[in-house]
Amino acid sequence: MLISLVVPVFNEQETIETFYHAARNDCFLKTKNVEIIFVNDGSADKTAQLIEELVAQDTNVRLINFSRNFGKEPALFCGLVHSRGDIVIPMDVDLQDPIELIETMYHKWEAGAKMVLAKRGDRSRDHWLKRVTANYFYKVHNALSHSKIEENVGDFRLMDRCIVDIITSLQEKNLFMKGLLSWPGFDPVIVEYKRPERSAGTTKFNTFKLLNLAIEGITNFSTSPLKLASYVGFGISFLSFLYGISIIIQKLLFSLDVPGYASLITVMVFLGGVQLITIGILGEYVGRIYTEVKARPQYVIESIHEATQEEILPNSSSDDSKSVR
């Protein structure tokens, strides 16, 4: 039985060795056959060099180098594609996903769970704005999308091989991994934990990237925003019709002077804003259709560093077709 740890990395030279030693020295993981798959997402520091040194001394460590920075979502997907384990656990290299929680998740899997989610039980350390925006994101996403995602759950989870095979069989190019990982279903089991601080380094996600990720998640798993634009259009048309009727009544029955420029400009500006929002929503979907139609690979692999074929685990295999996907 093999456990695969999938670890996307980008400019994480400060955390590589700390993570590796934490994984190899964990009392539970010491008793299991564990492979660590590092996916280097175009790092510009010594990340690749440090992992290559680990590959040279540990046959159960693999390094996949991208040709450039493609993003965390493609890196995570690539790691799943190249994983060989009976169970697969995506996790961050900064140790904010506690390695010691894997034992609890493993026992849930032994009890029959196909998917075990690690849920943050406390977000008090996060900035208040991040807590508020995250809360609203989950509510909006789950209200609009057919595929629900558990609140305060990231990529850190345990998945049975059957779920990983389903996910890696999907061909879409616009990746929102939280949604993809939740899409198969299988009644996930939840394990709560308190997230520690980063072991070293700084986060590579900023507000702009998080906002783009939120938009990606909603538009990838729901067409409701398109329907919402139609509903808003019908609503405004109906209100405009009522407003027009009221103006006619005021003029004909009560001979009241109806102010023109102010109301006209207000209505025009409002409708212009609604039109721009609607065009923006359409643009998001058209852009995703354009990306899917081009069918460019989600990532390009520059090199793979691993043990020689004789040293690789007995049931593993190498597939060159995975280098470009």
Greatest mean pLDDT among 41-55, 129-143, 236-250, 282-296 lies in 41-55
CA–CA distance, 302 with 289 (Å, rounded to integer): 27
Residues 121 and 268 grouped into a single domain: no
CA–CA distance, 274 with 263 (Å, rounded to integer): 17
Q: Give per-residue burial for 173-200: e unless 16+ CB within 10 Å, then b.
A: eebbbbbbbbbbeeebbbbebebeeeeb
Residues 189 and 86 grouped into a single domain: yes
Residues 135 and 253 grouped into a single domain: no
Residues 23 and 170 grouped into a single domain: yes
Residue 217 lies in a domain: no
Out of 127-141, 194-208, 278-292, pick the least confident: 194-208
Tell me what pLDDT residue 25 has.
93
Residue 125 lies in a domain: yes
256-295 pLDDT, tens digit each: 666 666 567 667 767 777 777 777 777 777 777 777 777 7
140-186 pLDDT, tens digit each: 766 666 667 777 788 899 999 999 999 998 888 777 777 788 878 78
The boundaries of the domain holding residue 97 are: 2-206+297-323
Residues 97 and 201 grouped into a single domain: yes
Number of domains in the chain: 2
Look at residues 67, 72, 60 and name the one whose alpha carbon lies nearest to residue 24. Answer: 60
Global pTM value = 0.70
Out of 54-68, 187-201, 239-253, 255-269, pick the least confident: 255-269
Q: Record the tokens describing residue 284, joined without a space.
A: 């998001």
Residues 65 and 175 grouped into a single domain: yes
SS3 for 130-142, per residue? HHHHHHHHHHHHH
Residue 213 lies in a domain: no
